[in-house]
C-alpha cells in the first residue's frame, strides 16, 4: 500500500514539475492541464445530474441578465 501511495505522490509531483516548466498551454490552469494530459481519470457525471446542473446554470444566467436574456439557439 505504501508503494502505491509513493507512486501516486511521485506522479503528482512529476505532473506539477512538467506544468511549471512549460508543458502547459498559454493561460491553461493546472486542472485543465491534468485533464488534457489524461493524468487523472474522471468518472463521467450521470446524465440526470448533468441535466440538472445545466438547467441551474441557465436559470442563474437568466436571473442575472433579466430581460436581456435570450435562450440558446438549438440547431
- Residues shown for the chain: 75
Burial of 3 (C-beta count, 10 Å sphere; 0-12/13-18/19+): exposed
Most confident of 8-17, 18-27, 54-63: 54-63
Looking at residues 15-40, what average pLDDT do you find? 74
Which of 13-17, 24-28, 43-47, 67-71 has maximum average pLDDT?
67-71
Q: How confident is the model at residue 42 (pLDDT cuts 50, 70, 90)?
A: low
Instruction: Give pTM, 2 decimals.
Output: 0.39
Its sign, for the CA torsion 40, 24, 28, 17, is positive
What does the domain layout of the chain look like in residue ranges?
A: 2-68
Which stretch, 2-6, 24-28, 66-70, has highest mean pLDDT? Answer: 66-70
Amino acid at each position: 500500500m505504501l508503494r502505491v501511495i509513493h507512486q501516486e505522490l511521485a506522479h503528482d509531483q512529476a505532473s506539477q514539475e512538467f506544468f511549471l516548466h512549460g508543458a502547459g498551454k498559454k493561460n491553461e490552469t493546472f486542472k485543465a492541464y491534468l485533464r488534457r494530459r489524461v493524468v487523472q481519470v474522471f468518472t463521467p457525471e450521470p446524465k440526470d445530474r448533468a441535466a440538472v446542473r445545466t438547467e441551474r446554470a441557465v436559470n442563474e444566467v437568466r436571473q442575472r441578465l433579466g430581460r436581456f436574456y435570450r435562450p440558446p439557439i438549438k440547431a
